[in-house]
Structure 1
Amino acid sequence: MTWEVLSMIGTIAFAVSGAIIAMEEKYDIFGVFILGIVTAFGGGAIRNLLIGVPFSALWSQGLYFQIALIAMIIVVLFPNNLIKHWQKWGNLFDAIGLSAFAIQGALYAVKMHHPLGAVIVAAVMTGIGGGIIRDLLAGRKPIVLQSEIYAVWAILTGLLIGLNVISSPLELYVLFVGITILRVLSYTYDWKLPIRSLHVN
């Protein structure tokens, strides 16, 4: 049940994220749905390839495709004055998606009895993969490749689950809330990783 709930939360959050960014970039309705789907399922597809899950497993997620589609239809039908508040709430959706999918990816790898390194990779790629593809398709610099603390929270998630520090459903929900809050705090207070720049002023 924990797996399914987190998958639904992440799917909705990233589908909405992708759809709204597509509308910001003035994509047509087809582009809105494509970007939403890619954002919601891109990370899982990359994870599957890396940890040895057949790519065709993606097509077994019919329910999640339907959930993503409904979420995007709702967003498209929202009045413009509500959509404009995306700048305020967009990062929250992104934080929710990151947390939910990082946990889901780590659980997936643990279920397949992969070592700690694979669990961390699965958490990171599931959590950030869709967002990277979304930003690239929208012509934006991916958040995770900038100095913002983003992927660090997915790595932390993979470590805690891979080391079996957190395993029960209640602990996983607490982790979900905790990682979401940490991500929100990191962009609210502009926490950044060190930058090594080659630009000469």
Structure 2
Amino acid sequence: MSEWIYFFDLWGTAVFALTGALAAGHHRMDPFGVLVLAGVTAVGGGSIRDALLGTTPVFWLQDPTYILIVLATVIATIIFNRTSPNAPWYVLPIADALGLALFTIIGTEKALSLGLSSISAVIMGVLTGVGGGIIRDVLCRQVPMVLRTEIYATASIVGGIAYCICLSTALDHFTSMCIAMLSAFGIRLAAIKWHLSLPAFDLKR
């Protein structure tokens, strides 16, 4: 089971590094800027999670594979951009949705493995899923997606809850992870396609 979690974690790192690199490209950053934005997007949420859980040094300091994944993703993105046409507009939001789903379940699982309650685990999952994207958007001087009316954090919350519910049944860990990730990913894709959003809070004067 731990091998699957590690695989999903590395895959999520690559996906979020890709979203950071693409965002840097949209803002015409230099290669170092691309690396920084990809790095904070990929490991930002997990770093905050580990700091709150007290599991230090944080994961990417213990295992340099994560840094190598980020570096490889950045290099591949830069090379691909120079040799191929610009990526379609939907690549970034879809990649971000996949990273959100992957990291949500990874964060939830890590919190559960430390003996935290399901509520706390879901919170840690959401933080892992949205943390890197928040840092990325702030550095790009944009309002983070999690703070917009468009459904984003809600998809992460549903994924975390689905994972905890699946684990409480007879389903095994791998099946539970797949169901939960598909739940979060599907909700986020639906929000992107049909522009689903929560009602905005309008302060009455």
What is aligned with 2:198? 193
Q: Does the 8 Å CA contact 2:50/2:58 hold for their aligned counterparts? A: no
- Within a 5 Å distance, the mapping from 1:175-186 to structure 2 comes to 175-186=180-191
Offset, 1:60 = 1.0
AA aligned opposite 1:170: T
What is aligned with 1:154? 156
Offset, 1:191 = 0.7
Q: What's the Cα RMSD here?
A: 1.9
Residues 121 and 167 of structure 1: CA distance in aligned 2, closer, same or farther (over 3 Å): farther
AA aligned opposite 1:169: F
Give me the whole-angstrom Cα distance separating, in 2, the residues matched to 1:25 and 1:50.
31
Using CA pairs below 8 Å that are at least 6 residues apart, which structure has the higher relative contact order?
1
Aligned residues: 200
Residues 193 and 129 of structure 1: CA distance in aligned 2, closer, same or farther (over 3 Å): same
Q: Does the 8 Å CA contact 1:33/1:72 hold for their aligned counterparts? A: yes
Q: Does the 8 Å CA contact 1:102/1:157 hold for their aligned counterparts? A: yes
The counterpart of 2:40, out of the listed 38, 41, 45, is 38
SS in 2 for 1:79: helix
Offset, 1:158 = 2.0
What is aligned with 2:93? 91
Give me the whole-angstrom Cα distance separating, in 2, the residues matched to 1:77 and 1:49.
34
Segments of structure 1 that go 5 or more residues without pairing to the other structure are none
Q: 1:102-143: per-residue Cα shift (whole Å, max 9, x none)? A: 000000001101112220111001000000000000111101
AA aligned opposite 1:64: Y
Dislocated runs of 4+, deviation >3 Å: 55-58, 79-83
- Within a 5 Å distance, the mapping from 1:1-201 to structure 2 comes to 1-80=3-82, 82=84, 84-163=86-165, 164-165=167-168, 167-198=172-203
Structure 2 length normalisation: TM-score? 0.90
Q: Does the 8 Å CA contact 2:51/2:58 hold for their aligned counterparts? A: no
Segments of structure 2 that go 5 or more residues without pairing to the other structure are none
Offset, 1:72 = 1.1
